[in-house]
Structure 1
C-alpha cells in the first residue's frame, strides 16, 4: 500500500520506519519542504521518499496526519478527500493555544475540517518510544500491546486495524470518533502499557 505521512516528528518517523519495514511504500512530509527530509528518508531506508504535504497526501492511498493539533488548518484537505486518514493528533492547549472544539472529540473536530476524508483515530495514546520498541509480530494478538482505534467508518477502521497487526500491535475497536474521547490525554488508557484484555477492561470494551 502507498502510505503518505504528514509530519516528521517522533510518531511520524516511527510509523514511517515500521510501515516501510512491513513492505509498504512510504512518503513523508513536513511543513518545511522535502529538501529538509532527504537525510531522514535516507536513514529510514526501505525506499521512503520525501514530499511536500500536498504531494504526500496525493501519493498515499492511506494518509497518516501527525502534525501538531494546532496546525489542523494547514492540512491539505482537498487532497485527503475520499482517503482513509489516520489522525494521531492530541490537543494540548499549552502548545496549541485555545481552540474551541464545540464539544466534539478531537478527531470529530478534525474530520469536520477534512470533508470527505475517512478519518480513523489511532496511535495517539502511545508514546513514540513505545511505538518504536514494543511491536512484536511473533506474539499472539492477545499478548501484544493494544492500540485503540476509533472511527465512524467500519471499512476504514478495518484497514487501519490490519496495519496495526502488521507492525506487531493489537488493534482494539474503541467505537466512533466521538468515543475516541476515552483515548485522549488524561484518560486511563493514554500512555498505558496494556495488552488487549487489559485495554478492553480499561475502556469498558469487554
Structure 2
C-alpha cells in the first residue's frame, strides 16, 4: 500500500503535532476532533495550515492510514465499523488524569492496544507515536542519516502492516525499533522506562533489550506468566 493521505482522529496536542509532521513530509492530512468542524477548522488553520478539518466519517473515507490520537477512554465512542479494513496507528496511552480509574477503562488481563485491536477487530492496528512527548515529536524529527535523529518503537501482530507503518514513521522523521507482537506495546506505556523518553535508535533498543530487568518489566513479565 502506498500512503498518500493521512487521517487523524483527535485534534489535541499529539494530533496537531502529528498533522504538522505529516504535512511537512508531503502527505495530505485530514483531522477531526470532539468539537464542531467549524471550531476545529479555526484551530487547524491557525496551528497546521494546509490540513483539512472534517468529521470522522470524511476523515476515514479519504485517508489511507488512520492515527488514533485521542484519550484512551474515548476509543469506544468510535463505531468500529467506521475503521473496517483500515490500517490504524494506535498512539493512545492510559492516563489516569484524563481517562479516570483504570478498571473503568481497561480489562485487567491484557494490554491497552490488545483491547483497542479487539474492539476494532476488522482493522489492522499498529502501536507507535505513544511513548514520546508531543514536544519531542515536534522538535526531534530529523531527516534520515542525521546523527541527532531519534527513534520510535513500532509494534503490531501483522508483519506487513508493521513494516508499512515503520516506513511511515521513517518519513515522519524518526528511526524505528520494530517488534511484531502487539502485546509489546506495554513496554512503552506510562510506568515504563521508555515513556516520555526521546532516545536514539541504539539507546532505545538498549532499554528494550534490558526491559525485563527493570522493576516495571519484572511486573509485566510476571503478569504475562500469570495469564
Q: What is the CA distance between 1:143 and its match in structure 2? A: 4.9
In the aligned structure 1, how far is the partner of 2:63 from the partner of 2:107? 28
In the aligned structure 2, how far is the partner of 1:76 from the partner of 1:13? 23
Q: What is the CA distance between 1:93 and its match in structure 2? A: 2.9
In the aligned structure 2, how far is the partner of 1:96 from the partner of 1:138? 36
Q: What is the CA distance between 1:176 and its match in structure 2? A: 1.1
Q: Do the aligned partners of 2:67 and 2:91 also contact (CA within 8 Å) in 1?
A: yes
Out of 150, 157, 175, the residue aligned to residue 145 of structure 1 is: 150
In the aligned structure 1, how far is the partner of 2:156 from the partner of 2:164? 11
Equivalences for residues 1-206 of structure 1 within 5 A:
1-43=4-46, 44-46=48-50, 48-97=51-100, 98-137=104-143, 139-140=145-146, 143-204=148-209
The structure-2 alpha-carbon separation of the partners of 1:188 and 1:174, relative to structure 1 and needing over 3 Å to count, comes to: farther
What per-residue deviation string (whole Å, max 9, x for no partner) do you get for residues 51-100 of structure 1? 11222122211000111011111123212111110001101234212323
In the aligned structure 1, how far is the partner of 2:119 from the partner of 2:160? 21
Which of the pair has more CA radius of gyration?
Answer: 2
What per-residue deviation string (whole Å, max 9, x for no partner) do you get for residues 125-161 of structure 1? 0000000100110534x75211001100111111211
Any stretches of 5+ residues in structure 2 without a counterpart? Answer: 211-227
Moved over 3 A (4+): none
Moved more, 191-200 or 5-14: 191-200
The structure-2 alpha-carbon separation of the partners of 1:61 and 1:76, relative to structure 1 and needing over 3 Å to count, comes to: farther
What per-residue deviation string (whole Å, max 9, x for no partner) do you get for residues 10-32 of structure 1? 11000101101111111000121
Q: Do the aligned partners of 2:60 and 2:66 also contact (CA within 8 Å) in 1?
A: yes
What SS does the corresponding residue of 1:37 show, helix, strand or coil? helix
Relative to total residues, which structure has the larger helix share, 1 or 2?
2
In the aligned structure 2, how far is the partner of 1:171 from the partner of 1:13? 21
TM-score by length of 2: 0.84
CA RMSD of aligned residues (A): 1.8
Q: What is the CA distance between 1:102 and its match in structure 2? A: 3.8
